[in-house]
Amino acid sequence: MSESVYKRVSQIGEGTYGKVYKAINIQTKRMVALKRLRMESEKDGFPITAIREIKLLQSLRHPNIVSLVEMMVEKNHVYMVFEYLDHDLAGILSHPQLMFNEGHIKYLFKQITEGLAYMHQRGVLHRDIKGSNILLSSKGVVKIADFGLARSIDLFNPDAHYTNRVITLWYRPPELLLGATIYDGAVDIWGLGCIFAEFFTRKALFQSKDSIGQLRAIYSLMGTPIENGWPEAASLPWYQLIPPKEPKKSQFLAKLTNVIPEAARNLIMKLLKLNPKSRYTADDVLHDSYFLNDPKPTRPVQLEELTEEWHDFEAKMRRKKKAGTSQQESFANGNANGSSANSNVNTGNNTFNVGLHSQTR
């Protein structure tokens, strides 16, 4: 591949895999996303995770799954070339003025679920469902992206073991936090429930810096396993190491009554069952009456009015820049301790948005 085919425009993402750039095809003028794979730690050649990702993407063809256009080698770097979308869900939900009504949320959420249902029907787990991995176009088209942790599972061997060191912490289901290595598509459904709730709350439901704190955050809102239909949790490897402090029933409906509409709350509850065997499947979600009842799914035309692109990476850069400007203005006005600027940075919705996707994989 010629080195001059693509011209990089800006960086739009970064992770353990490497960096993602917005680029333009010089010949066709088509915008693409270039995912540069991190190679320096791979002494034995091409990363096995990248090989798995490429094979999976080549096997998946669906309107709500991002398309791999081609592979490219340039100056000893390997790039995966993807179709380009203007925004991701994490970035959009951090937008201070852009709001969705329930019809808009249904329209977007249904597309995410359709992409996930397609994957699960083919025995593919994503294993990192979160807002920054859900891409959106200005036309309201949704595509699931970043298959770096995805893998195929053996649908005919339900007792196969897989690593539990997957899924960004705030979206990781309780069975993985408790050490389970036998699991299925229910691990993705937990993340689906988390981001469905996030459409309404504009912040992650469960937030902590470590696995123990994450479990406690889940228990605080959803109740403890034994009291909420999951006695099998007691047999998981790490249950006795981090047992619940006290028995507790779910507080979800009571705490979020004024934030999430009743029909949506009821559906979220079916996605966030502690017992993975009791969770809805993606197909169950699509056949739920939620999408048939008013308000009907409605395309969010306000996305077309955005003058900037809103990816999580870019949104974080904007907030850092704004925070730095606020602090400089605070000192310039004689506020030596910067309390006013710090208040702006560390309170309100921005607190959750700044940390929303900072967890490492």
Residue 205 phi/psi, 5-degree rounding, is -65, -40
Distance CA 155, CA 192 (A): 21
CB 140 within 8 A of CB 107: yes
Two tokens, residue 205 = 């439901």
Asked about 128 being catalytic, the answer comes back as yes
For residues 165, 170, 175, 181, the Cα torsion angle rounded to the nearest 10 degrees is -10
Q: What are the φ/ψ torsions at residue 10 (nearest 5 degrees)? A: -165, 160
Q: List helix spans (H) across 159-287.
A: 174-177, 186-201, 211-222, 252-255, 262-271, 282-286
| Buried-state track 19-39, b at ≥16 Cβ within 10 A, e below 16 | bbbbbbeeeeeeebbbbbbee
Q: Is 35 annotated as a binding residue?
A: yes
Active site residue: 86, 128, 146, 188, which one? 128
Contact 50, 31 (CB under 8 A): no
Annotated binding site for ATP: 35
State the catalytic residues: 128
